[in-house]
Amino acid sequence: MNGFNRIELQLKPGTRLHVLCLVLWVAAELAVWLMLPDVGLRLLSMLALLVVMPLLCWPLLHPNADDAVAGLAWEPDLGDMQLLTRSGDWCQVERIPFSCSVPGLIQVLKLQRVDRARPTWLLITPEQISRTDVRRLHVVLRWASPLASRQATGS
């Protein structure tokens, strides 16, 4: 036991993620402009980036109701995490393969759900949860023992 309390998050809609994706797209376009010496290649690469970036960002910004996370309940000491989807279903999380927390900017969690083969990406900006929850989530992501896969109990 590490002594972490239960974390319950209700995610509110936010606009910072949209702004963050837009800033990322502008930075990528500027990097392509500055790196490539040939004007034709530069314009072709910028056009390709203009097509690819929305395709990459769309699933993160507008997931379907079965994948969109509306809430999170996590017992770090018990190794139990559940997600509430926008469709109203609770889903068990098997493990967290990746997590990153940049205080004041974003918290990223790659969650492997029991009912899905593909991972669910959860991107949380500070406007979606309270300051206290941002701090608590940052501390738990940094110091709590990782969520481990459960072993089969019977054959």
Q: What is the pLDDT of residue 66?
A: 81
Question: How large is the average pLDDT for residues 66-93?
Answer: 90
Give the chain's end-to-end CA distance (angstroms, integer): 30
Residue 79, by phi and psi: left (phi above 0), alpha (psi -120 to 50) or beta?
A: left
Give me the residues paired with residue 111 across strands: 120
Provide the residue ranges of all domains of the chain, joining segments of one domain with +.
7-12+65-143, 16-61
Q: pTM of the entire structure?
A: 0.77
* Model pLDDT for residues 36-45, shown as the tens digit of each residue: 889 999 999 9
